[in-house]
C-alpha cells in the first residue's frame, strides 16, 4: 500500500511539473505595438493583435496564427491582417517566423506569462498570455455568414470529389447485399451525400469551437486544401464510417 501511495504521489508531482514547464507557449496571447510615428492627419497609431499558439510540433517549436488590427486615434476604420506562423523557444528567447513574406520575424524575451521585443527604430512589442480567455477569438457574425456561403457553394464540389473516391466501391459492395444495380447506385449516391453533409457540419462545428481558425478556411476556399478528400483515413473518419454504416456496408 505504501509503495502504491509513493507511486501515485510521484506521478502527481511529475504531471504537475509537466503542466508548469517553463516555456510552454500554448494558448492565446494578446499584444500591442508601440513607437510608430503619429499620422499627420489621423494621429497616433493603435496597433494590437492576438497570437493563438495552436499546437506543439517539436519539443521547442509550435504552430499558430497571428491576427493584427491597426487603427488611428482620430480617423475611422481599421485594417486587419493575419498570418500563420512557426513559434520557436530556446532559453526563454522566443522567435516568431511568419508564413507571410511581408512580415518581419519577431524576436522576444519570455518572462513567465509576458514577452517583450523590439522591431528597431524605436518600435517595441509587448505580449501577455490571456489567462482568463478574455481575448475572444471566436468568429464574427460577418465571418460566419461568409463561412456558410462558402460551405453552401462548395458542397457540390466536395460531393463530386467524394464520389470519385468512393462511389464505385460503394456500388460494388451494395450489390453484394442483394440490391439491384439501380438500387445500389441510388443508395451509394445517398451515402456520398451523407458523407459530404457530415464533413461540412463537422468543419463548421470546429470553427465555432475555435479548433480551426475561420480565417484559415476563408483564405483558402479550396476543397482540396480545406477538406483534403484524397487523404481521408476511411478507417477513422467518423463521417465516412457513419455514412457507410447507415448504408449497411463498410468502406475499406
Task: Please name the residue that has the C-alpha cell 460503394.
Answer: 170
List domains and CATH numbers for the chain: 24-129 (2.40.128.620), 141-247 (no CATH)
Is residue 23 pLDDT above 60, yes or no? no
Q: Cell triple for residue 60?
A: 521547442
pLDDT score of 16 = 35
Which ranges in the chain belong to alpha helices (H)?
2-19, 141-175, 181-208, 214-220, 223-226, 238-247
For residue 85, the model assigns a pLDDT of 93
Residue carrying C-alpha cell 457540390: 156
Region 212-236: what's the mean pLDDT? 73
- Residues 132-173: tens digit of each pLDDT: 755 556 677 788 888 899 899 989 999 998 899 888 988 888
Phi-psi region of 43 (alpha: psi -120 to 50; beta: other; left: phi over 0): left
CB proximity list for 184: less than 8 A, separation 6 or greater:
170, 171, 174, 175
The predicted structure's pLDDT at residue 95: 96
Q: Between these two residues, 75 and 113, which has the higher pLDDT value? A: 113
Query: Phi-psi region for residue 14, left (φ > 0), alpha (ψ -120 to 50) or beta?
Result: alpha
Q: What grid cell was written down for 107?
A: 524576436
pLDDT exceeds 50 at position 18: no
Q: How far, in Å, CA of 157 to CA of 159, rounded?
A: 5
For 197, the grid coordinates are: 453533409
Bridge partners of residue 82, in order along the sequence: 67
Q: Structure pTM? A: 0.47
Amino acid at each position: 500500500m505504501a509503495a502504491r501511495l509513493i507511486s501515485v504521489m510521484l506521478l502527481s508531482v511529475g504531471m504537475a511539473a509537466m503542466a508548469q514547464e517553463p516555456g510552454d507557449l500554448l494558448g492565446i496571447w494578446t499584444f500591442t505595438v508601440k513607437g510608430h510615428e503619429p499620422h499627420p492627419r489621423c494621429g497616433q497609431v493603435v496597433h494590437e493583435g492576438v497570437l493563438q499558439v495552436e499546437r506543439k510540433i517539436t519539443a521547442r517549436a509550435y504552430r499558430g496564427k497571428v491576427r493584427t488590427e491597426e487603427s488611428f486615434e482620430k480617423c475611422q476604420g481599421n485594417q486587419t491582417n493575419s498570418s500563420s506562423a512557426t513559434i520557436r523557444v530556446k532559453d526563454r528567447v522566443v522567435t516568431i517566423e511568419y508564413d507571410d513574406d511581408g512580415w518581419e520575424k519577431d524576436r522576444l524575451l519570455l518572462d513567465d506569462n509576458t514577452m517583450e521585443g523590439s522591431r528597431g527604430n524605436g518600435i517595441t512589442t509587448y505580449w501577455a498570455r490571456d489567462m482568463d480567455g478574455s481575448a475572444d477569438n471566436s468568429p464574427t457574425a460577418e465571418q460566419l455568414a461568409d463561412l456558410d456561403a462558402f460551405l453552401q457553394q462548395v458542397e457540390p464540389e466536395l460531393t463530386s470529389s467524394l464520389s470519385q473516391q468512393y462511389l464505385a466501391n460503394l456500388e460494388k459492395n451494395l450489390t453484394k447485399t442483394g440490391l439491384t444495380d439501380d438500387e445500389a447506385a441510388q443508395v451509394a449516391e445517398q451515402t456520398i451525400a451523407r458523407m459530404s453533409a457530415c464533413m461540412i457540419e463537422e468543419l463548421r462545428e470546429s470553427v465555432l469551437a475555435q479548433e480551426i481558425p475561420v480565417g484559415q478556411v476563408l483564405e483558402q476556399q479550396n476543397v482540396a486544401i480545406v477538406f483534403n478528400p484524397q487523404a481521408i483515413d476511411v478507417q477513422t473518419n467518423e463521417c465516412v464510417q457513419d455514412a457507410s454504416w447507415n448504408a449497411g456496408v463498410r468502406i475499406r
